[in-house]
Structures are given as structure tokens and as C-alpha cells.
A and B are shown apart, each in its own frame.
Chain A
């Protein structure tokens, strides 16, 4: 296999060390403590990672063994992850929303030796399953709150653990350097458990080579300079955020900022004003509807300026996308843009953003049009855990609506049986942890990865994703339907958070809709529609009519067989803790189909 090097190094640990020498006192990580930003420099980052790594070894954790972090994004997450990686120990992440059952599965499956937990809540979950996890030697708790009386030989506080490591480092710092030098390109860098919309989660192994390859690609995907900022607000257990917050900063010198908590992300965006943002379409949709609603409540002149600026912006975007002559930007446009969009971008915290990327779900074309109009080049990319992050990405200045960009240079892309997208190259992962059968099903002996997505490749080499192959619906009439495409059109409505299209073996297509509480409640309020709780809101005839109108607006854009003939609104307010949703807040098709079988049958019995 070809050698992949970044700055002359073939493991991320060695690149990390080189960067620390280069950037020692420059800021690397920032987090908030009692409302104030605190900064860790690259040398602080390194020193803590070293302390953590050495303390792991003292505990007897061996190269190739697994440790995991069960916490929201925070500096300790990266310290633990990098510390382990430098020691040749494999880092893993567990979603903070995971149930005790899921934690048990992941700890057992990975043979996890040390688990870092955020607080008392996560500790309780872990303690309830520790009996079943014989490999687990130590649980480290980050936050002490409420645990003063804690007395348990297996549990220790994170800061004390790192302190011990620091003491070891005063005499044995060289051991850490030796372990970094011992790393090989084929060693594992980390594990990512796939969120598992079907079946038990599987641990995808990402090797040092995979990670280094993605680091070499970062400057191609992202327009960033050392000192640029990013905000780490998606789960670090997910491949995309792990790449963005751990490896892209190594490659580009980004300062990673951590939000105070999940509820303050919008505020933190505004404060940080990041230069680089990757997020799934859902996040960008939220931004868009936030602005739309905000403008609706704004004073008349502001509304007028926004609408005019948007109209003129749209015309330019349309011309640009169609490759026609772009109308010139006159003083009027400049004034309107300055008045309207500059404020919109500041409101969103996007005024500095030079690289905006989205992926992980189909992107409604109207969403990209809107962002282009306001001056953000929102580029679509395609990737999955098994491609260690991005597989394809739209190059700067070359957006093609509905296409997810070009494959990374050095990788190959082809369309196989069932129109399946297949990828080969240094970004293809090293297989599933302890699961050679699944690995063999996913990667062919000659290195082609079965992505499980179907799609097509344009003559220019752009990739379009149609759907997950196993999600494709075949109606009673024998028509093939790609539900995800339809759902993404529905989700563009501010009133719809997510939807599941149904129709397998049925005479016509229907949908289950999850409404957006914030926006629908606001609509109900404006229209004086009475309701008490969430369930009664979903049953209010005026709300049903609202959603019907949204669906009927989408139907004309669909082929006849794809049109949604009936729908039901899910009458429960779901959160990431519920089994109906993935940790990234997507509806799980299979679970929904089972749980709401009566609702679904109701649509077909009439």
C-alpha cells in the first residue's frame, strides 16, 4: 500500500508532536468556565495528553487495547483521545444520550479498559452495567459535582488521574515519546461505533493511515489558516466531528471551541463566529428557518430590504448555477446585501465563515440556493464512518445542485450492482472491530467498500446519492421509490423536523411526520389555534391542515407514484434519548414502522 504522509509523518500522533513544537504557545482549545472562555495552548494540550497517556500505561492498559469517552464535547474528550492515541491505545466514544443497554454493548464489544464519564448521570449508567464488563479496569469522572461522598475503588476523578500522570511525566516523559515513535501506519487510531439504525452498533476501525490521509485532504476541502476558529458542537463520537475537532486542527491550526452546553450552541456560534463549519442539513435548515421567522417578526422596512435582497440574490445564484451570464453587482445590490445579509450572517455567527459544508443526509436544493443568496457557499459532501470522513466533496466555486462533489484525489469511485456506490482508496476503513464477517461483507478482497448507498456518477465525475439501497421502497405497483429524497423535500418546511415515507408493498405512498414544536406552536399562537399539550397540538385540525398544505406544496415536484397521498403526525415529542431517534436526531425507519404500525395501517385501511 502506498505511503501516506502528512508533514513527513505517517501517524497522527507524530504529526501532533510536530505541530506542538511548531505552535507551542498558540491557542489550540477553548472552553467556557463560568461564562468565560479559557484557552489551552498546543503545549498544554500535549502535556495533558501525555499525562493521561502515561497514567493509562501505569494502570496497565496495553497498546491496541480500547478506552472510551462518554461525555459531551469538551477539552477532556480530546485530551483522553489524543493521550490514548499517542500511546498506541485505541480511543472510542459513546454518545452521552446512550442508554445503559447501549453502553453495555459497546463496552463489552470493544473490551473497553478505561471509560471516561462526564458526570454523575453518566457514572450511574455505567455502574449499572459494570458487572457485565470484566475488562473495565477504571472509570474516570470529569465533574465532581454531587460525588463528594463517592467511595469506590474502581472509580476515580479525571483530574486526579491526570495529576498522577503529570507526576510520572517528571521522570518518565521519554516513555511517552518512545510510544509515539513506536506507532505504525497500520495501527488503529480510533474506533467509531456506527449509530446503528439497524441492528447492534458495530465498531468501525480507523487506522493511522486513514486519519493521516484525511489530514492531507483537509486543506483541499477547507479554506482555513492557522488561528481560524471552529466550534465543536456535533457529537465527537461521530466520525465527522472527530475529524473536524481532532484531526483538521492538526492539519490546519484551527482553534477548537467547545460550547457551554447543548442549549447554548446558537449563542456560542455568535460569540465564536467560526471560519469553518460542517453540519448536517438539519442544522442548516434550522438556521434558515430561524432567519425566516425572525424576519417575519421584524419591522416593515427590514422585511422589505430582506425580501428585495433575497430576490436579487436569487437571480444571481440561479444564473451562476446555470452557468449563464451573472447579472452585475450594482451599488443597489451592495447596499441591500450590506443592510440585509450582513446582519443575517452576524445573527447566525456566520460572518467569518469561509468553508461551509454539509452532508450525512440529502440536502434540499432550496437550502443551498438560500445560503448562496445570503453569501455562504454551502457545499455538499458525501462520507460515512467507513470512509473515515469525507469520500467526496464539492470543490470551492463548483456547486452543482443535487450532486455531492468529486471523490478525494487518490481514491477511486465506481457504481456497482444495484447502482451501489463503491469506493476504494486510503480513506477506506480498516474493518469492523472483532467482526471479520461483517468486514468481509462490506469491503471486497481487492479493497472496494460497499457503501450501501445507490447513486450515479456524472460525466464530470460528480457523485449523486439517491438513497440507502435497503431503504428503497417497492410499491404494490412495482415502482421503485427513494424515500430519503422525498423526505428531504418535506424537511425543508420549517414546520417539519423529520418525516418517514412509507409505501413498501402498498398501493400508494404515505408519510409519518414529526413536527417542529417551536415553529408549529408559534403558528398555532399566531392563528389562535387552541391546544394544550403536544399531542393535542398534533391533532388540532388547523395544524393537520398546515402540514397537509406543506405536503401538497411538495407533491407537484414529485413523480406521480411518489406523491404522498396521506400522512399522520407523530403525536409524541421525541428526544435523542428515545429509541425512535438516532443520536443525531434522525427518525429510525424500522422502529417508526413498528411503533406506529396502527397509525400506518389507519392510512391504508380506508
Chain B
């Protein structure tokens, strides 16, 4: 197992944001974590990336414990986070943004090859090579952020809501590239998403989080067949427009069968 998370627990002051989370990410697979607002998804990624220290539990990356390490030490080991909302450097060019990802690398030839590779996945970044990243569209910034993360030669790429603020078409494009990254480089991906439909479509393994706990775990294919998941996350259940002729405002309480 590339990443093995055991009984992870994170608190913000008196509030437990995440309790007893166990999950694994296998080599060369896309693992998706789904959940609504406030489920603890971002907390999970930030804890894994060393941005927050966990209160309890272990994070084993390639068999070694990495919980509690600083974010840069975690990143150097190949556990790389693409943060929520992109966070590119707006006044650096696209190329310099990508190079920032390779800041800790000394293998210049390989870096050049990786830049070409990223430009191959995202031709638009090549067109905008010298432009300030702050002038790019949201989708292009997401491409920069993913490319930048890839340039740090990750073994595990962690993506926090790549679909945030993107059109459905761009979302599919981004996820298409994520799939390509996995296929072409064998990089494992851990993606956190609210957009369950697209994440379940492209992911291999899936977890569903609610209120800081994992409530369901299975392959993405199996999850997307579950009635509860379909109703709560894919919006294919009955009664979106109810008999009263009004939009449904309530959510069925779930049992997770």
C-alpha cells in the first residue's frame, strides 16, 4: 500500500473535524473521497500533507510514518497537495509557476522533460507560457496547479476539489488529464470532491465522508450503484420535484446500507 491512514483524528480547538478515519491508497490508482460541505475532506488532505498535525492516528507513506512532519518534508517524500482554490503565484509566469514545483529537484534534464509532459497534457499552458498566472482563467489556473504539483515528481498526488468553480466541460477535461497522469506515469492520486458524479466516474476506489467519519468505502463502480449514494450524491433518486409541485428542500436521512 502506498498510503495507509490509520485512525486519524484532527481537532480545531474544541471541535473534532475528523474522527477515526482509516483509508488506503494503492499504487497507480485514483482514490476519491466524497462528501458534502464540512464533512472533513479538506481537513483530511491538509492533515496528510502536514499542514495540520493530527491529534491521534498514523499516516504511513511507503511504510514510513509521516504524520506530524512539516509540510515541506512531506512534499519532499513525494506526497504532494494541490490545494483548494488553486493558489497559483499570480505575478509569476506560467513557466515559473511550474518551475516552483520543481524547486527541490536537482535533476534539470528530467525537470525539462516533465515540463514538456505537462505542456503535452495541457496544450493551453504552452500557449500561455510567459503570461502571468494571475491572468489565466480558473480552469487554466487549475491546470497550472496540477502541473506545478506534478513537477515536484510526486508519488502520490493529492487534489483538493479540482472541480471547484469550473464548468462541467472543464471539470471533465481536468479529470480526463488526471486519469492520463495515472495511466502514463503510474502516479497514484487521492482526490477529494463534492462533485460525486465525476469523481465516481473517473476514480478507482472511493470513500464517502460525513461529519468527519467515513460512512462507506468501496470501489467507485460499486459505490455508484448503491441506492443511498445515488440518491444523496448523484441526484438520481425520486422526488427531486415532489408531489407538492415545489423543489425538494430536505434530504432523506441515510442509513448507508
Q: Which residues from chain A contact B56 at a C-beta distance below 8 Å? A: 525, 528
Does A531 lie at the interface of the complex (its beta carbon under 8 Å from any beta carbon of B)?
A: yes
Pick the interface stretch among A122-130, A243-251, A585-593. Answer: A122-130
B249 contacts A577, C-beta separation under 8 Å? no
Q: Which residues from chain A contact B77 at a C-beta distance below 8 Å? A: none
B250 contacts A530, C-beta separation under 8 Å? no
Q: A532 contacts which of B207, B246, B249, B257 (Cβ < 8 Å)? A: B207
In Å, the complex CA distance between A128 and B58 comes to 49
Q: Mark A569-589, 1 if CB is under 8 A from B, else 0.
A: 000111101100000000000
B253 contacts A577, C-beta separation under 8 Å? yes
Q: Which residues from chain B contact A149 at a C-beta distance below 8 Å? A: 245-246
B246 contacts A150, C-beta separation under 8 Å? yes
In Å, the complex CA distance between A128 and B214 comes to 33
User: A-B contact count, CB below 8 Å?
Assistant: 84
Pick the interface stretch among B17-25, B84-92, B108-116, B170-178. Answer: B17-25
In Å, the complex CA distance between A458 and B217 comes to 54
Does B14 lie at the interface of the complex (its beta carbon under 8 Å from any beta carbon of A)?
A: no
A536 contacts B217, C-beta separation under 8 Å? yes
In Å, the complex CA distance between A524 and B247 comes to 41
Q: A146 contacts which of B19, B239, B249, B255 (Cβ < 8 Å)? A: B249
Q: Mark A531-542, 1 if CB is under 8 A from B, else 0.
A: 111101000000
B217 contacts A533, C-beta separation under 8 Å? yes
Q: Mark B233-257, 1 if CB is under 8 A from A, else 0.
A: 0000001001111111110010111
Nearest neighbor of A525 in chain B, beta-carbon distance: B20
Nearest neighbor of A119 in chain B, beta-carbon distance: B250
A127 contacts B244, C-beta separation under 8 Å? yes
- Known interface pairs A521-B19, A528-B7, A530-B6. Does A146 touch B57 (Cβ–Cβ under 8 Å)? no
Does B213 lie at the interface of the complex (its beta carbon under 8 Å from any beta carbon of A)?
A: yes
Does A147 lie at the interface of the complex (its beta carbon under 8 Å from any beta carbon of B)?
A: yes
Does A529 lie at the interface of the complex (its beta carbon under 8 Å from any beta carbon of B)?
A: yes
Q: Which residues from chain A contact B161 at a C-beta distance below 8 Å? A: none
Does B9 lie at the interface of the complex (its beta carbon under 8 Å from any beta carbon of A)?
A: yes
Does B215 lie at the interface of the complex (its beta carbon under 8 Å from any beta carbon of A)?
A: yes
Q: Which residues from chain B contact A460 at a C-beta distance below 8 Å? A: none
The B interface, classified by DSSP as helix, strand, loop or mixed, is strand
- Known interface pairs A528-B7, A532-B22. Does A147 touch B257 (Cβ–Cβ under 8 Å)? no
Does B216 lie at the interface of the complex (its beta carbon under 8 Å from any beta carbon of A)?
A: yes
A573 contacts B243, C-beta separation under 8 Å? no
- Known interface pairs A521-B19, A525-B19, A573-B255. Does A121 touch B7 (Cβ–Cβ under 8 Å)? no
Nearest neighbor of B208 in chain A, beta-carbon distance: A533
In Å, the complex CA distance between A147 and B245 comes to 9
Whole-angstrom distance from the CB of B52 to the nearest CB of chain A? 17
Q: Which residues from chain B contact A578 at a C-beta distance below 8 Å? A: 255
A572 contacts B257, C-beta separation under 8 Å? yes
In Å, the complex CA distance between A148 and B243 comes to 14
A124 contacts B244, C-beta separation under 8 Å? yes
Does A446 lie at the interface of the complex (its beta carbon under 8 Å from any beta carbon of B)?
A: no
Does A216 lie at the interface of the complex (its beta carbon under 8 Å from any beta carbon of B)?
A: no
Nearest neighbor of A520 in chain B, beta-carbon distance: B20
- Known interface pairs A124-B242, A124-B244. Does A574 touch B23 (Cβ–Cβ under 8 Å)? no
Does A437 lie at the interface of the complex (its beta carbon under 8 Å from any beta carbon of B)?
A: no
Whole-angstrom distance from the CB of B38 to the nearest CB of chain A? 15
Report, as a range, how many residues of chain A touch the other chain: 20 to 34
Q: Mark B130-171, 1 if CB is under 8 A from A, else 0.
A: 000000000000000000000000000000000000000000
In Å, the complex CA distance between A524 and B218 comes to 21
Interface-central residue, A525, A531, A574, by most chain B CB under 10 Å: A525
- Known interface pairs A120-B248, A530-B7, A533-B216. Does A575 touch B242 (Cβ–Cβ under 8 Å)? no
Cβ < 8 Å to A, chain B residues 1-51? 6-7, 9, 19-20, 22-23
Interface-central residue, B20, B213, B242, by most chain A CB under 10 Å: B20
Q: Which residues from chain B contact A128 at a C-beta distance below 8 Å? A: 243
Nearest neighbor of B239 in chain A, beta-carbon distance: A124
Q: Which residues from chain A contact B6 at a C-beta distance below 8 Å? A: 528, 530
- Known interface pairs A528-B7, A572-B257. Does A124 touch B22 (Cβ–Cβ under 8 Å)? no
Does A418 lie at the interface of the complex (its beta carbon under 8 Å from any beta carbon of B)?
A: no
In Å, the complex CA distance between A573 and B216 comes to 11
Nearest neighbor of B242 in chain A, beta-carbon distance: A124
A572 contacts B242, C-beta separation under 8 Å? no
B249 contacts A120, C-beta separation under 8 Å? yes
Does A3 lie at the interface of the complex (its beta carbon under 8 Å from any beta carbon of B)?
A: no
Q: Which residues from chain A contact B250 at a C-beta distance below 8 Å? A: 119-121, 146
Q: Which residues from chain A contact B214 at a C-beta distance below 8 Å? A: 532-533
A120 contacts B244, C-beta separation under 8 Å? yes
Cβ < 8 Å to A, chain B residues 55-72? 56-58
Q: List 13 contacting pairs A-B, 8 Å CB cutoff, sorted by A.
A: A120-B242, A121-B250, A123-B242, A124-B243, A146-B247, A146-B249, A149-B246, A525-B9, A525-B19, A525-B57, A528-B7, A532-B207, A572-B257
User: 6 smallest A-B Cβ distances: which pairs?
Assistant: A146-B249, A127-B243, A532-B217, A121-B250, A124-B242, A525-B20
Binding site for B on A (CB under 8 A): 119-121, 123-124, 127-128, 145-152, 155, 521-522, 524-525, 528-534, 536, 572-575, 577-578
